[in-house]
Structure 1
Amino acid sequence: MIKGLVVEDDAQLIRALRINLEARKFGVETTSEGNTALRLAATRKPDVILLDLGLPDMDGIDVIKEVRKSSGVPILVLSARHTSEEKIRALDAGADDYVTKPFSLDELLARLRAAVRRQEVPAPSDEVAVIETDDFAVDLIAKKVRRGDRTVRLTPTEWHILEILITNPGRLITQSKLLLDVWGPTYSEHTNYLRVYMAQLRRKLEADPSHPRYLITEPGMGYRFEG
């Protein structure tokens, strides 16, 4: 059973989410407070978190940042904040998706399933299990990245993007293909998502993120990995 943690202070929305998720065989825990959410995320180890940004005790962005210090669990933001700046802040903090209120439950459930699938995507069965560069190594079986003697923590979405690029060395992967493969057909215009996630990957993997050696942008077209 997939375990979901709903962090939301709207009692009616919590009830609707619980009914719909439990009907689809999700286990559901709920809280209206960020501090409680952090405790539950650490102790109950949910498979996915649905998070409102407007919580009574702390900002949801801070919840994302705290969770990301120790976990790569998929986080879907549910928020009435609809500006591009707010979406970028949430994604940059480590959220995997951003759903603006009011939303269709069918759309939310589709995005939820996609987030869970991204975490569960099996590793490629190619002969090469570990891809090494001068700066980092990627273990495709264990889904781990190392820089020197430390493990680099990636979110499920960051891992999915890196996996697509690194298993196609030298090949241009178009923006539209990445958006389709990672987020699905409803995200074909969300190129800002890619900019945010590529910037995060470069900060984590490149020696000089402003002059990337491995994760290359082809302006207006897409991205490629150079080993």
Structure 2
Amino acid sequence: MTNRSVLVVEDEENLVEALRYNLEHEGYTVLTAPDGGSGLETARAALPDLVILDVMLPNLDGLEVCRILRRETDVPILMLTAKGEEIDRVVGLEIGADDYVTKPFSMRELMARVRAMLRRPRKTASARMAEPLRSGSLAVDVDAHQASLNGEELRLKPREFDLLALFMRNPGRAFTRDQILEQLWGHDYIGDVRTVDVHVRWLREKIEVDSSTPARIITIRGVGYRFEG
């Protein structure tokens, strides 16, 4: 028997119960969440040993949950994807999922994947130290919480630092304001979405040659922002 815990983030009740039955039969403690937002909260609070994460979820999709979790922890993540959705599998693995199974799947196969993933050693704290993020003369050391431009330290407020790190981890990716709010302020934030615009403006004033014609953080009309480096 084992005292390890598994978090199942899945909105199909029948599948949740089937997973719960089989996981508990193997001796695992099972936690469940019906949507991405509550799944993220549960993962942060309970620190499970493994997360089984569906891609298609209400509130916050599984790919975003995976991206956020991988930024915060090295917990093993097993993605559940729909048959034929190769793009979900590829993106999931690229953003940090450890493995995936395609629906409909054999419960025996899934349990074998779970056992194999839990046998893998977790990274040590020293191995998790992130490499500094670099884009030309701009550098961010997430572990040291330091940023510099042309070798000079940037004095950034905490949210500005987090925003810059988010952009530099995802060069070329378009973010909506809601996605930025979700990742930096949390899904339960109830303030004005324009707070993102304010922080982007402040950040531009510190990293752009001319903040009125930005070359690093680009506004995408009707969408949000993209970091060009």
Q: TM tier, shorter chain?
A: 0.5 to 0.7
- Paired residues in the alignment total 136
Partner residue, 1:85: 87
Partner residue, 1:16: 18
**Aligned-partner SS, 1:119:** coil
Larger relative contact order (C-alpha < 8 A, sep ≥ 6)?
1
1:163-222: per-residue Cα shift (whole Å, max 9, x none)? xxxxxxxxxxxxxxxxxxxxxxxxxxxxxxxxxxxxxxxx99xxxxxxxxxxxxxxxxxx
In 1: Cα distance, 2:34 partner to 2:125 partner: 37
Normalised by the length of structure 2, the TM-score is 0.54
1:100 to 91, 102, 107: 102
Within-5 A mapping of 1:175-186:
none
Does 2:120 correspond to 1:118?
yes
Partner residue, 2:50: 48
**Aligned-partner SS, 1:89:** helix
In 1: Cα distance, 2:100 partner to 2:52 partner: 10
Partner residue, 2:61: 59
In 1: Cα distance, 2:101 partner to 2:15 partner: 14
CA contact (8 A) 1:74 1:119 kept: no
Normalised by the length of structure 1, the TM-score is 0.54
In 2: Cα distance, 1:62 partner to 1:146 partner: 20
1:34 to 36, 40, 51: 36
**Shift of the alpha carbon at 1:115?**
1.1
Q: Which of the pair has more CA radius of gyration?
A: 2
Judged with a 3 Å threshold, the aligned counterparts in structure 2 of structure 1 residues 141 and 79 are, in CA distance, closer, same or farther, namely closer
The answer to which of 79-88 and 91-100 deviates more is 79-88
Unaligned runs of 5+ in 2: 133-140, 145-167, 170-229
Q: Return the letter of the residue paired with 2:118.
A: V
CA contact (8 A) 1:3 1:47 kept: yes
Runs of 4+ in 1 over 6 A off after TM superposition: none
CA contact (8 A) 1:144 1:151 kept: no
Q: Return the letter of the residue paired with 2:69.
A: V
**Aligned-partner SS, 1:66:** helix
Sequence identity of aligned pairs in percent? 40
In 2: Cα distance, 1:34 partner to 1:146 partner: 26
Q: RMSD across aligned C-alpha pairs, in angstroms?
A: 2.5
**Shift of the alpha carbon at 1:151?**
5.0
**Shift of the alpha carbon at 1:144?**
4.3
